[in-house]
Chains A and B, each alone.
Chain A
Amino acid sequence: MSTPDTAAPPRSAPARSAHAADLGPILVLTALLAAGVVASVCVGASGLPFARAVHGLFVWDGSADHALVLDVRLPRAVLTVLVGANLAVAGLIAQTLTRNPLASPQTFGINAGASVAIVLVAVALPSLGGAGLVVPAFAGAAAVGAIMWFLSVSGAVTTVGLALAGVTLQLVLTALVQALLIMSNTTQDMVFWLAGSVTGADWSKVAVILPFTLVCCAVVLLAGRHLGLLQLDVMTGGSLGQNTRRVAGLASALVVLLAGSAVAVSGPVGFVGLIVPHIVRRLPGGGDLRRLAVLCMVGGPVLLVCADLAGRVVAFPQELPVGIVTALIGAPSFVFLAVRQRHR
């Protein structure tokens, strides 16, 4: 009798070690995320020691600590996690779909499209708030997504040119948002939101984004095998038996839903969707799309939670919108990626 080890086909040993390497980065990122969330709950205008934070979370005694943790800090942390996951996964899928390493909800102007629609609706129908803003966000994101999709498919511009087209669209749409705000005299309230911010998070916002995060992430994991084939060109995908058009449609819908719902609750937070997929691709382990997606679901929140923490600490007692922090990190990485793109 041979032991299972010797009897096993030779492929299983590397497969198993690859499996271990697969899990490693995920576990590390999850630990980082947990630490980040704890820090996010504990750090703020009034610092909470860890023990008091836990006490406030689990002992419902109506104390100030309890109210602070449950109504202010925790929803903010949860919202940050969800927005980070949404944007990172949306960026990953956009990059896979367009086979363009510079793609992301922000660089393609999809975030800005959602913002314009939201501001338009907020100005025209001020009574509509919260969940009502999700629908216009999707409409705006989808409209810009369609333009970029057309530019990309028609081959009208190159890889780098597509990113430039997206940035241009973003500038134009941002200018439109500013014009709308000035016309309606609501500059004060919206400026902070426009930079991308999770300030003023509450459970209702979490409720707005949570269903989209859960459903879209589940779909990504279930359909990951098909979505991964989008990295190949249309011909190869078709010859492998894929209904390329249908899968591409699904991927586009996912990007719009993920990015749109994120913008609806937190404003256009930039660069998370761009850089997180690139970071997780460099982690050890295979490049399978489902695995990358899981890494993005954990890695995006890590980045955004850290950025939010930095924004709260750096400019104390003021708060820096998290979008500014991500832009300060993200813009140089964007240059780096664009330059590397040229060298290929």
Chain B
Amino acid sequence: MTPPMKPPATPPMTPPAAQAPTPPTAGPRPARILLACTAALTLLVLIALVSIARGAVSLSLSDVVDGLTGGSNAFIVQEYRLPRVLVAILAGGALAIAGVFLQAAMRNPLASPDVVGLSKGGGVGATVAVMLASPASQVWAVPLGVLAGTTLTAAALLVISRRIGASTVTLVLVGAALAALAGAAIEYLLVREPQSADQALVWLAGSVYGSDRSDVTALLVWLAVCLPLVVVATRAADLAGFGDDSIVSLGGHPVRVRATLIIAAVLLTAGAVTSVGGIGFLGLLAPHLARFAVGSRARHLVPMSAVTGALILCLADFVGRVVALPNEIPAGIVAVVVGGPYLLFLLIRETRKHA
């Protein structure tokens, strides 16, 4: 007779303290979530309207509504202002969702596409594409370059962090160094090809300047293609908040779960970077703000982050447009000036938690 098998004596795995998004708890009540979403959406619509109204030619709100439906100001509204606002909304939403996914996949509250260098990597790819491809083929070469750049950066980051078992803060520092390296590479390329430097600088700083209808369509199509993956990743995001062992015991596949999230984040980032360049700290800021409002359950957090991200980018673009008339400050610069101090705050809080 064989002795009866003992049940495996592994103690229940507790996720380490460094984990970023707290695993879903009860969270705020549904009424509050609904209220927060409605408030954010209303604010977004308001800012979009104001943003359409203000500019070199100031319009009244009735003019805007009139223009949207094809009135006398239809040209300004539909060809210039509206595409710009739409691109800001789409790109802001995409970057914010990418931030949620990265934070979940890496279990790191400091992660986001810009902080860990994905956006800058995409910038290198775009710069290379602009320089290598003939002007006619740039329409497809630039997105391809951005995609290659973000993917390579993500791969480098994952390899490095896996090799060193990086802590929360170290991982971000590695990302910052990767971003510095990418920044130097971009500057190198720009100095070699100075004639394209001016335009590239504005784009690299992150700007929705000069967006037109084709940009909106392209981004919309790209995001629509990504949508199924985003849905799948949203389902995986809650699971990824746990440690690998807990994921296994819950019936998940850790590598597959994290890979889904990271691939989704890379694709979303590539789309956003292609159309607006690197918007610093947006992907960091939006998920955190959204988490305050709706808690950390992914199916609430992801849509709320998207709205928040859209809101922030619209606001940053609007501020950049009006603060230094007649010049425009790229939205990315505004976002960095606001978002950087927030990262410092998070950093200090993260240290306090461990002390």
Contact = CB atoms under 8 A, between A and B. Distances in A.
Interface in B205-257: 205
Interface string A13-44: 00000000000000000000000000000000
Interface residues of B, number: 49
B227 to A, nearest CB: 32
Greatest chain B CB density within 10 A among A151, A176, A183, A324 is at: A324
A175 B205 CA distance: 8
B201 A164 contact: no
A335 B350 CA distance: 21
A42 B163 CA distance: 44
Interface stretch (A59-67, A81-89, A154-162): A154-162
A343 B198 CA distance: 43
B172 A178 contact: no
A182 B344 contact: no
Contacts of A332: 177, 181
A335 B327 contact: no
A187 B197 CA distance: 11
B337 A179 contact: yes
B327 A171 contact: no
Contacts of B329: 179, 182-183
Interface stretch (B56-64, B86-94, B134-142, B185-193): B185-193
B178 A342 contact: no
B340 A157 contact: no
B50 interface: no
Contacts of B333: 175-176, 178-179, 182
B184 interface: yes
Interface string A74-95: 0000000000000000000000
A254 interface: no
Contact of B173 (A160, A182, A319, A327): A160
Greatest chain B CB density within 10 A among A175, A179, A270, A319 is at: A175
A169 B173 contact: no
Contacts of A331: 177-178, 180-181, 184
A6 interface: no
Contact of B164 (A102, A315, A342): A342
B115 to A, nearest CB: 9
Contact of B170 (A155, A168, A187, A342): A342
A103 to B, nearest CB: 13
Interface in B326-352: 327-330, 332-334, 336-337, 340-341, 343-344, 347-348, 350-352
B183 interface: yes
B68 interface: no
Interface string A170-203: 0110011011001101011001100100000000
Nearest to B197: A191
Contact of B167 (A165, A171, A179, A342): A342
Contacts of B197: 191
Contact of B336 (A171, A315, A330): A171
Given A158-B351, A321-B191, A334 B198 contact: no
B160 interface: yes
Contact of B191 (A175, A324, A334): A324
Contact of A327 (B183, B191, B280): B183
Given A171-B280, A182-B329, A182-B330, A335 B177 contact: yes
B49 to A, nearest CB: 26
A312 to B, nearest CB: 12
B174 interface: yes
Interface string A236-262: 000000000000000000000000000
A151 B177 CA distance: 21
A1 B170 CA distance: 64
B169 interface: yes
A102 B170 CA distance: 12
10 contacts: A156-B352, A161-B169, A176-B337, A178-B205, A182-B333, A183-B327, A183-B329, A324-B187, A327-B187, A335-B178
Given A315-B191, A318-B194, A327-B183, 14 more contacts: A157-B351, A164-B110, A164-B172, A178-B333, A183-B327, A188-B198, A191-B197, A270-B180, A315-B192, A327-B180, A328-B181, A331-B184, A334-B177, A341-B170
